[in-house]
Structure 1
Amino acid sequence: MSKHKKRTTKASTTGNIRIIAGSHRGRKLPVLMSDGLRPTTDRVKETVFNWLMPYIPAAHCLDCFAGSGSLGFEAQSRGAEHVTLIELDKLAAKQLSKNAELVKASNLKVENTSALTYLKQPSKKFDVVFIDPPFRKQLVEQTVALLNQGWLNEQALIYIEMESDASSGVINNLPENWQLVKEKVAGQVSYRLYQLFAE
């Protein structure tokens, strides 16, 4: 069996994510379990959205590496005005669109492209951004650099989830106008919340 076939077979395995709170509280949504997909755990997600609770209602949110859609759908359920999900994998993006229809989320848009390609377009402004890329691919620094070129509203919040080991858990060239607000480590995962301030 070819390598490609193995990946395709694996991608067809279905799991699910659970929405913790908001208008779709308790709802489980199907997820295609493909290579590299690592949905944010409920424990981490609950902590993150406790941090973000005052800011999500009426916010414009961007999920740069949507994957399962766990973060984006949680934000939509909790009252975000609009959520954009970016997902490179075609099958995963298709599932995200199906899930949006399932919960009648007309204010949620799925973009089947890479985050880096999307962020090289003319920018629009977001209030909350989620960056949770596949580990060890040096995607955080590239995404951060592009985001800081006009994509963020004043005092925007940026959530970053990445590997916690010392060598790769460091974010190089972080913009000086990003201030660390919260930080936690859970096992192999480090997650942080930054806020943009005027320079």
Structure 2
Amino acid sequence: MRNKSPQKQMSNKTNDGVIRIISGQFRGRKLPVKDVQGLRPTTDRIKETVFNWLMQDTRDAKVLDCFAGSGGLGFEALSRFAQSACFLEMDKLAATQLKANIETLKLTNAKVVCTDSLQFLSKNPHQQQFNLVFIDPPFRQGLAQQCCDLLTHNAWLDKNALIYVEVESDMPALHTPSNWLLLKEKVAGQVLSRLYELQ
């Protein structure tokens, strides 16, 4: 007589995932990502497009990764020899994971600020300006528009800064500041990617 199947044990598995750095000094490294509501890591396909656009502009860049989430964009820039990166992330679990990943990569030129990105940008930058900014907020909350406005209004952008914006492809028109020149644009499924340059 066959033994009865053992009762299913409670699974300790979570829906946490990983991101992969696709090029540069950390090429192929995989970093854990917390399963946080609204967190939507940029896919490898889109990252490859974005960093092809930025091929000549990542080295020595001062990076600001707004709504950092997994940190996929900021870590990719650091892998490609950005000078520094500041990750803004409101969720404590996600921010803690970002700090752990910075330690894993032994980075001394990256920091995490556990804060609301819009509150952070509403303050004076105290002469801290960035020349490469990633804006990849949770979809359908109108955050990208506010972020763009605050970056300009409070002078967070260095001369000729590049700004990457990732939003839902069906969102209403994004009204960027008049001195932002659209350089690149691509739609991939539900994602609209745009690269701007401050004039």
TM-score (norm 2): 0.90
Of the three residues 114, 117, 140, the one matched with 1:115 is 117
Q: Distance in 2 between matches of 1:120 and 1:73?
A: 25
Letter matched to residue 156 of structure 1: A
Give 1:128's aligned residue: 132
Cα drift, residue 169 of structure 1:
4.4
Cα drift, residue 45 of structure 1:
0.1
Letter matched to residue 118 of structure 2: L
Give 1:163's aligned residue: 168
Cα drift, residue 13 of structure 1:
2.9
Letter matched to residue 137 of structure 2: P
Cα drift, residue 121 of structure 1:
2.0
Q: Distance in 2 between matches of 1:14 and 1:169?
A: 31
Cα drift, residue 14 of structure 1:
1.6
Give 2:41's aligned residue: 39
Q: Say if 1:169 and 1:190, in contact at 8 Å, map to a contact too.
A: no
Give 1:62's aligned residue: 64
Q: Distance in 2 between matches of 1:44 and 1:110?
A: 23
Q: Distance in 1 between matches of 2:173 and 2:28?
A: 35
Cα drift, residue 73 of structure 1:
0.4
Identity %: 56
Letter matched to residue 143 of structure 2: L
TM-score (norm 1): 0.90
Structure 1 residue runs of 4+, over 2 Å off?
none
Letter matched to residue 132 of structure 1: D
What do residues 91-114 of structure 1 show as CA deviations (whole Å, max 9, x unaligned)?
000000000000001101100001
Q: Distance in 2 between matches of 1:59 and 1:83?
A: 8
Cα drift, residue 90 of structure 1:
0.3
Q: Say if 1:163 and 1:169, in contact at 8 Å, map to a contact too.
A: no
What value does the CA root-mean-square deviation take over the aligned residues? 0.8
Q: Distance in 2 between matches of 1:53 and 1:108?
A: 20
Cα drift, residue 61 of structure 1:
0.3
What do residues 106-127 of structure 1 show as CA deviations (whole Å, max 9, x unaligned)?
1011000011111122212101
Cα drift, residue 34 of structure 1:
1.2
Q: How many residues align?
A: 183
Task: State how 1:48-197 maps to structure 2 within 5 Å.
Answer: 48-123=50-125, 124-148=128-152, 149-165=154-170, 168-172=171-175, 174-197=176-199
Q: Distance in 2 between matches of 1:102 and 1:129?
A: 23
